[in-house]
Amino acid sequence: MNRVKTGIEGLDTMLYGGIPEGNQVIVAGGPGAGKTLLGFEYAYHNAKEGNTSVFFAMEEEPERVVENAKEAFANFKDIDQLIESKKLIVDGEDPATIIRSGGTDTYEFGKLIADIESLITTYKANRAVIDSLSVMEMLLGDPAVYRRSLVSLISNFRRLRVTSLLTCELANPESLGQELRPEFFIFDGVIVMYEAGKEDRRALAMEVLKMRGSNHSFSITPYEITPDGFNVIAGEENL
C-alpha cells in the first residue's frame, strides 16, 4: 500500500505511516481546534516533497489563510516560495458571491466543485484540502442533497487520483458524543480534533476515528500548535 504522509510526525505515527493514497479524509472539530492549520500543514509538507497541493478556502480569503499560517508556523520560511513555484496552490471562493450570481443551490454547489476540480486538473495536483464542508452544507441546505453531493465529490476526487483532507465543524468539540455526522460514514477516513476544559485552559487532543484500508491508532492523543507545526504527542503510552 502506498501511503501519503501528512508531514506531521505524531499524526503519521497514529496513521501507521500515513494516509492510504487515494483516500478522502474528514478533519472534524470545533472552532479554534486548528482544522484549517492542519489542512494547510498537510498541503505544505506535500508541496515540499514535490507534490502539487491545492488548498481551497471558503471560510476565509486565501490571502488571509496564508497570513494565518505564516503567523502560526513562523518557522515555515518557504511558504511564499512554494506558492510562487506553483507547488502550493492556495485559492478559494466566497459562497455568498456564488449565491448572489443566481441559480439553484444545487447548481451553484456543482459550479463550486467544478472550480475546485479545474484547479486540480490545471496544476496536476495529487493532494487537496477543502476548508470547509460546513460551508457547502449551508449552501445546499437539504441534508439528502448534501449527502448525495458528497458522494459525487468523493467519486470525482478518486477519479482524479487525489488524496484529500476536508474540514467540517463539530457542534460539541469536547467529545464525539451522539454527533455522528453523515460525512463520517461516507468518507474513507475521519480525524476528530477535540477541545476539552482543563482547569484554566483548553486541552487539545485528536483521534483517528477510522481509516479505510489501513490499521491505525485508536487512542485520543494530545497535540499542540507550535511555530514548527503541529506537535502530536503520540508516544507509546498513547497508542
Span 67-78, mean pLDDT? 97
Give the pLDDT confidence of 128-175 residue by residue, as tens digits: 999 988 888 877 777 888 888 889 899 999 999 999 999 998 876 565
Q: What CATH number does residue 32 fall under?
A: 3.40.50.300
What is the per-residue pLDDT for 198? Answer: 62
Give the pLDDT confidence of 193-225 residue by residue, as tens digits: 998 766 567 789 999 999 999 999 999 999 999
Is residue 38 within 8 Å of 224, Cβ to Cβ? no
Bridge partners (DSSP) listed for residue 54: 89, 128
Contacts 24+ apart (CB under 8 A), 122-125: 123/52, 123/54, 123/86, 123/89, 124/52, 125/51, 125/52, 125/53, 125/54, 125/89, 125/162
Give the pLDDT confidence of 167-200 residue by residue, as tens digits: 998 876 565 554 567 778 899 999 999 987 665 6
What is the per-residue pLDDT for 235? Answer: 62
Furthest-apart CA atoms within the chain: distance in Å: 54
224 closest CA partner among 195, 197, 189? 195
Segments forming the whole domain that contains residue 201: 3-238
Q: Report how many domains make up the chain.
A: 1
In a 13 Å sphere around the CA of 111, the CA atoms on its Cβ side amount to 15
Bridge-based pairing of strands 53-57 and 24-29 is unpaired
Give the pLDDT confidence of 101-130 residue by residue, as tens digits: 455 556 667 778 888 999 999 999 999 999
Question: How does the average pLDDT of the chain come out, rounded?
Answer: 88
What is the per-residue pLDDT for 197? Answer: 67
Give the list of residues 6+ apart from residue 51 with CB closer than 8 angstroms, or none: 87, 125, 126, 127
Span 3-10, mean pLDDT? 96
Output the nine-digit C-alpha cell for 52: 502539487
Give the pLDDT confidence of 7-59 residue by residue, as tens digits: 999 999 999 999 999 999 999 998 889 999 999 999 999 999 999 999 999 98
Is the bond preceding residue 85 a cis peptide, omega within 30 degrees?
Answer: no
Query: Using CA atoms, how far apart are residues 19 and 93, in angstroms rounded to an integer?
Result: 27
